[in-house]
Every structure is written in structure tokens, then in C-alpha cells.
Amino acid sequence: MTEPLLRRLHARGERLTVGALPWVAPVYRAMPQVHEVIEFPFAHGGLQLRARRALGRELQGRFDAAYVLPNSAKSALLPLLAGIPRRVGYLGEARVGLLTHRLKNPKGKPPMVAFYSALSGATGVEGDRPRLQLKAGEADATLRAFDLSQRGYYVFAPGAEYGPAKRWPPGHYGALALQLDAPVVLLGSAKEAPLCEEIAAHAPGKCLVLAGKTSLAQAFALIASARAVVSNDSGLMHVAAAFAVKQVALFGSSSPLHTPPLNEAAHVIWLKQDPAYVPSLDCAPCFERECPLGHLRCLNDIRPERVLSILQ
């Protein structure tokens, strides 16, 4: 979601260094406009002021401007400690003393690409689409490593870090896999491996479970080389969109008005906006981690046959 912002900054001559936690750093290495990626040594959660001060001293004098993308106060602390003179971001968590140039927090849940791109100061950012690019030979090396062929398989990304209210049922994924005309590669984190194994059990002989067995860069290569991708509203959904791969994106508790896959080859299924779906889903989008009503109709009622018809 942040790639169009970086592309805009690069196009006007800014030399870009991105600071990111290790698990997300490979995303920025797949953006050719990024000159350098610094992996932050911070653990998830907590202020970790000593570590931020130490890194701030190392970065002193290196940068003219910082674009602070997260809205937390602690994320704006490092540019201040590094003495970066121009610090741009949203007001976020009352960051008046931390940022030198602040945008007002938007109301509601705006489209995220436009939300980030606005930090460039440009107007007309609504049409931006994220793009990623593999390094030369990366796809071929990954396909050889897993004995796969270009466009010879489908990818399912059945996880969603936020919670089960964003996950299409494993039985539906399995039923779809059984009806496809090629093998299915199941991708995700190590935590999602049991979920992927459950899907594979519903479709004996059809699935290769690679959740937790690939690097993020390898997962990117597998997605970019797939015949098509089926996913929930997740990070890997946006990766597929950034590689312009044919995809079906399944939305339930969240909204494609907020975080759509920005890809002309993407097909979104969201029963909330489906006039043929009866009864209506007045409860969606709830943005909850678990279905507060216990039925999860927004995802359970998306039938595998419907996804299959799109893929065919």
C-alpha cells in the first residue's frame, strides 16, 4: 500500500532509504525505487527507548526528510532522535512535537493507497496502484527449488493475521482445490501451517503445503509465477495485486472499499454488495477479529463453485 508513495518520491528525485522490521523488509527490496533498506532491531510492541536512541545516533546526519507511515507516537520518535530536520506524517497519536509537517487524521477508513500517497503533498493520488518487481532469475530459482513450473499451479493464501472473521473456511478452500485443473500451492506463515494442512486434508493429493517453508521473497516469486491466486483480505492478496496476477479476493468482515486489491486482473467477492445475495448482510463490514454473531455468513456463504467459475 505504500509503494505508490515511494514511487512518487523517487520520481521527483528523492533517494529513498526505508526502515522496516525484518519480516516486512523483503517487501521493500522488491521495489526498484528503494535504494536501501534498514532492518530495525525493535521487537514487536513496547517503546524500547534505548534501542531507538542507539539507532538514532547511527543515523545522525544521513537524511534530510523522514516520511513516517505508521500513526503511532513511537514510530515518529526515531526520526526525531536521528535529528532529521523535516518529519512528515499524519497527526496520528497526538504527534505534535514529533513531526514538523502534519496532515490531519482522515475520518472513517479511507482507501489506504491514497492515504499514504497524500504524504507526498501531491494531489490526484486516487489512481495509484502498487507494483512489485522480482530480481532477475529469482522466479526461476524458486520454481526449481520447489519443483514447480511457470503458470503450472494455483496459489491459495488462506490466512489472515487479523483473525478468523477474515478467513474463508478450510473446507471451502479444499473443495475448490479438488475441482481445479492444476496443483495448488498453499502459502502463509508458520503459524498458518496447521490451517493449510487442514485444507490439504480436504483435498488429498492436490495441495503442496509451503506455509512457513519459504522466505518472503520466495513466496513473492511463487505468487508472481502462479496461474491465479485465491486469498482472503490479507497481505499476500496485495502482493498478488502488485504483481498483476489473476486473482479472486474474498472479503467478509472487512471492506474492499478500504483495502481493495488494486489489480485489473482481480475479482472481488463481497456478499455485502452482491444484489443477488439474500438475506442481506446488515452486519458487514464489522471489522471484528471474530464474527460477533457466530455465523460468519459473509464468508461461509461464498460457495467454492462461484470462485471456480471465475477462475475458469
Task: Indicate whether 99 and 149 sit together in one domain.
Answer: no
Instruction: Using the predicted structure, report yes or no on whether residue 263 has a pLDDT greater than 90.
Output: yes
Q: Are 140 and 219 in contact (CB under 8 A)?
A: no
What is the arithmetic mean of pLDDT over 190-216? 97
The DSSP secondary structure of 79-148, one letter per residue, reads: HHHTT-SEEEEE-TTT-TTT-SEEEPPPSS---HHHHHHGGGT-S--TT------PPTTHHHHHHHHTT-
Task: Confirm whether 36 is domain-assigned.
Answer: yes
Q: Tens of pLDDT along 171-180? A: 999 999 999 9
Rounded Cα gap, residues 68 and 66, in angstroms = 6
Q: Please, are residues 16 and 10 in contact by the beta-carbon 8 Å criterion?
A: yes
Domain with 292, as residue range(s), is: 138-311
Average pLDDT over residues 148-158: 98
pLDDT at residue number 124? 67
| Range with the poorest average pLDDT among 21-25, 224-228, 244-248 | 21-25
**143 and 8 belong to one structural domain:** no
> Is 129 within the bounds of a domain?
no
Domain assignment of residue 95, yes or no: yes
Mean of pLDDT over the chain: 94
Residue 128 falls inside a structural domain? no
The whole-number average pLDDT for the span 257-276 is 93
Residue 127 pLDDT exceeds 70: no
pLDDT tens digits for 49-94?
999 999 999 999 999 999 999 999 999 999 999 999 999 999 998 8
Residue 13 pLDDT more than 80?
A: yes
Averaged over 200-221, what is the pLDDT? 97
Answer yes or no: do 239 and 296 share one domain: yes
CATH of the domain at 27: 3.40.50.2000
* Closest among 199, 298, 208 to 256, alpha carbons compared: 298
Comparing 109 with 126, the larger pLDDT belongs to 109
Q: Is pLDDT above 80 for 261?
A: yes
Rounded to 5°, the CA angle 65-67-73 comes to 115
User: Are 89 and 67 spatial neighbours (Cβ–Cβ below 8 Å)?
Assistant: yes
Q: 134: phi > 0 → left, psi -120 to 50 → alpha, else beta; which?
A: beta
Domain co-membership, 149 together with 75: no
Last residue of a domain, one of 120, 154, 182: 120
Q: Which of 60, 94, 120 is the last residue of a domain?
A: 120
Please state, in angstroms and rounded to a whole number, the distance separating the CA atoms of residues 100 and 89.
8
In which band, very low, low, confident or very high, does the pLDDT at 279 lie, cut at 50, 70 and 90? confident
Nearest to 207 by CA among 198, 216, 215: 198
Evaluate whether residue 303 is within a structural domain: yes
Residues 220 and 170 reside in one and the same domain: yes
Check whether residue 57 and residue 86 sit in a common domain: yes
* C-beta separation of 81 from 52 below 8 A: yes
User: How far is it, in rounded angstroms, from Cα 4 to Cα 6?
Assistant: 5
Query: The whole model's pTM is what?
Result: 0.87
Query: Domain end: 52, 87, 120, which one?
Result: 120
Which pLDDT value is given to residue 125?
61
Percent of the chain predicted with pLDDT > 90? 87
pLDDT band at 122 (very low <50, low <70, confident <90, very high): confident
Number of domain units in the chain: 2
Q: Are residues 8 and 59 in the same domain?
A: yes
Q: In this structure, are 178 and 103 located in the same domain? A: no
Mean pLDDT of 125-133: 82
Q: What is the pLDDT of residues 291-307, one digit of tens each?
A: 999 999 999 999 999 99
Task: Summarize the confidence of residues 221-249 as an average pLDDT.
Answer: 97
Task: State whether 181 and 69 are in the same domain.
Answer: no
Residues 58 and 105 in one domain: yes
How much is the average pLDDT of 250-274? Answer: 94
